[in-house]
Amino acid sequence: MSEAKKLHVALFPWLAFGHIIPFFELSTPLINLVSLPLPTVEHLPRNAEATTDIPSHKTPYLKLAFDGLQGPLLQFLQTSTPDWIIYDFAPYWLPSILANLGISGVFYSMYGAWTLSFFGSSSSAMINGEDPRTGPEDFTVPPEWIPFPSKIAFRLHEAKQAFRNHFEVNDSGFSDVFRLGSVMGGCDVIAIRNCNELESNFSRLVGELHSKPVLPTGLLPPADFDGSRDQDDVWLTIKECLDKQNKGSVVYIAFGSESELSQPELHELALGLELSGLPFFWALRKRDNSVKLPDGFEERVKGRGIVWTSWVPQLRIMGHESVGGFLTHCGYASIIEALYFELPLIMLPISLDQGLIARIFGEKKVGIEVTKDEDGSFRREWVAESLRFVMVEKEGKPYRDGAKEMKKLIADKDVHDRYVDHFIEFMQNHRVA
């Protein structure tokens, strides 16, 4: 690329690792980090700079601090004059700043096109509150504007949680849905971590609902993964444990750095793992020390089950030959990583769009959801049944085969590189002169 055509692009992700990491993956290694001072906000712990630093009920205060970056970001944009800025769902105030500066903006969605479609149009449903759906029950069926067959909808308990946590105004002064609608309504382009080979109907629908160009950036799968490199002590210890298990026999369990299980949920999940009889490796990131495993659990599963309570090298674990399945909260990034390693999914969605993600990948026959009661609770027996079905039973073979088939798409570097190239080409040809 010649100097005359070289793009200058700024990135402004939301302060959560599930958002920051894909922004890095899209830009690396062509990135320079710029420090913006996060203001002090009442009720936000000192030195809290990401959602992983705080319990979920304090997230609105982090959004309030994030909103305090308007001034520093404006100063940066005025002095650095990028051609484009790629930003996340939270800065509802940014599109008006960009319009005044003559800088083009891309909303980069970590949510799938199915989720964006489900929320409706930015101008009416999301910003002005004109959504014809007025209660949680209305969100348990596909919305009327989806013109093709779809089963994508919330369970009632998921809809109630979404209303409470994301549709209603929170302590930041705005609802998450208002923030999302504002950035989608005010951007020039919507980019989605997606590819048409995975789904194209929902991506087209997003463009129609928001009257904007929609560009998939590919799935950003793990790049040139080599599990033999960087043999640090943590990995060597974990590897030694995994090496003792049979090929494809181990269930890997991880719920990301932010999802939180209640004490009853943790209890039933642990006893479900025990009841399944399967070997497992559980990366358990507990923020609250009052949430405890069942008495005697670790002793009873000794030799076949490991609970690891600090950071783990997830890709190395997924890539180990003894690991044969993934019990997940349905974070989109984690699912992409698991399918890259041919791991079928046992899905236990916890928050916002994770239920919709579970419906999508359930339809694609790469995993199943753990059964839940109407209130969202689940039982140990249902956990054990789901694990055994996907991991060992004959009836689960189509899901194991489906994960292997999906790997062909997710690991196709050329496919995903072409999406990034097209995205860059679009920015080259449509930037403000």
224 is catalytic: no
pLDDT at site 287: 60
Pairwise CA distance, residues 117 & 146, whole Å: 8
pLDDT at site 1: 39
- Over residues 54-77, the pLDDT tens digits come to 988 899 999 999 999 999 999 999
Q: b/e per residue, 114-151, with b = 16+ CB within 10 A?
A: bbbbbbbbbeebbbeeebebeebeebeebbeebeeebe
Task: State if pTM tops 0.85.
Answer: yes
* SS3 (DSSP) at 147: coil
Burial (0-12, 13-18, 19+ Cβ within 10 Å), 35: exposed
Asked whether the predicted pLDDT for residue 139 surpasses 80, the reply is yes
Pairing of strands 9-12, 189-192: unpaired
List, in sequence order, the alpha helices (H) in 68-155: 70-80, 94-101, 113-118
Residue 9 is inside which H or E element, if any? strand 9-12
Instruction: Work out the end-to-end distance of the chain between its first and last CA atoms, rounded to an integer number of angstroms.
Output: 17
Asked whether the domain spanning 233-410 has the same topology as the one spanning 3-221+412-430, the reply is yes
Q: At a CB cut-off of 8 Å and minimum separation 6, what does 151 contact?
A: 142, 359, 363
pLDDT category, 2, cuts 50, 70, 90? very low
- Over residues 241-278, the pLDDT tens digits come to 999 999 999 999 999 877 788 899 999 999 999 999 99
Pairwise CA distance, residues 397 & 192, whole Å: 31
pLDDT at site 176: 93
pLDDT at site 430: 86
Pairwise CA distance, residues 150 & 112, whole Å: 15
Quote the tokens at residue 143.
């919305």
Other Cβ atoms within 10 Å of 379 Cβ, number: 16
Q: Which of 82, 88, 42 is nearest to 65 (CA)?
A: 42
Longest pairwise C-alpha distance within the chain: 67
What average pLDDT does the chain have? 92
- Over residues 369-379, the pLDDT tens digits come to 999 999 999 99
Quote the tokens at residue 173.
């002064």
- Over residues 163-190, the pLDDT tens digits come to 888 889 999 999 999 999 999 999 999 9
- Over residues 191-227, the pLDDT tens digits come to 999 999 999 999 999 999 999 999 999 999 987 655 5
**CATH number of 3-221+412-430: 3.30.70.20, 3.90.550.10, 3.40.50.2000, 1.10.10.60?**
3.40.50.2000
Annotated catalytic residue within 19, 166, 320, 416: 19
- Over residues 99-133, the pLDDT tens digits come to 999 999 999 999 999 999 999 887 777 888 788 88
Per mean pLDDT, which range of 10-24, 67-81, 171-185, 229-243 is the poorest? 229-243
**CATH number of 233-410: 1.20.58.1610, 3.40.50.2000, 1.10.10.10, 3.30.70.260?**
3.40.50.2000
Residues β-bridged to residue 280:
251, 305
pLDDT at site 3: 44
Asked whether the predicted pLDDT for residue 291 surpasses 80, the reply is no
Asked whether the predicted pLDDT for residue 228 surpasses 90, the reply is no
243 is catalytic: no
Pairwise CA distance, residues 252 & 325, whole Å: 6
Q: What Rg, from alpha-carbon coordinates, does the chain have?
A: 22
pLDDT at site 433: 47
Chain position carrying tokens 């006893």: 271
Pairwise CA distance, residues 235 & 229, whole Å: 10
Annotated catalytic residue within 8, 43, 83, 88: 88
Indicate the domain borders of the chain: 3-221+412-430, 233-410
| pLDDT above 90 as % of the chain | 80
Please state whether the peptide bond connecting residue 29 to the residue before it is cis, i.e. omega within 30 degrees of 0. Answer: yes
| pLDDT above 70 as % of the chain | 95
Cβ(32)–Cβ(49) under 8 Å? Answer: no
CA angle 313, 316, 319 (to 5 degrees): 150
DSSP E strands in 110-165: the ranges are: none
Asked whether the predicted pLDDT for residue 4 surpasses 50, the reply is no
Other Cβ atoms within 10 Å of 328 Cβ, number: 28
